[in-house]
Amino acid sequence: NAGVTQTPKFQVLKTGQSMTLQCAQDMNHEYMSWYRQDPGMGLRLIHYSVGAGITDQGEVPNGYNVSRSTTEDFPLRLLSAAPSQTSVYFCASSYSGGVPQHFGDGTRLSIL
């Protein structure tokens, strides 16, 4: 039982590049979400999903896309990376909506 697995752990991009942050969970959780953590600003919700095929925007969705084709996976796509997207990204999952109980170890992303 691996819990929530995020890949990669570290990534450096150039402005304008695109990439996908991967998130997978093996607990059969319906609810999955993506947060970003910035110094002095806590964690902020980017997108979330309440089940396969269902996604919705959080507090800071601009510049990011998500999809949920399976219960296990919830990838986050940066369409055209900007320096303002330099952050630590966390994926989380839970049995019930609104209560992320299990967090991944994060992806540290730098945009040059």
**Footprint of other proteins on this chain (CB under 8 A)?**
4, 31, 33, 40-45, 48, 50, 56, 58-59, 90, 92, 97-106
Helix (H) or strand (E) holding 4: strand 4-7
Helix (H) or strand (E) holding 49: strand 42-51
Residues present in the chain in total:
112
CB 20 within 8 A of CB 76: yes
Which lies closer to other proteins via its Cβ, residue 19 or residue 50? 50
Which lies closer to other proteins via its Cβ, residue 19 or residue 88? 88
Which lies closer to other proteins via its Cβ, residue 83 or residue 97? 97
Q: What angle do CA 74, 72, 81 make, to 5 degrees?
A: 15
Closest approach of Cβ 49 to other proteins, in Å? 10
Closest approach of Cβ 74 to other proteins, in Å? 14
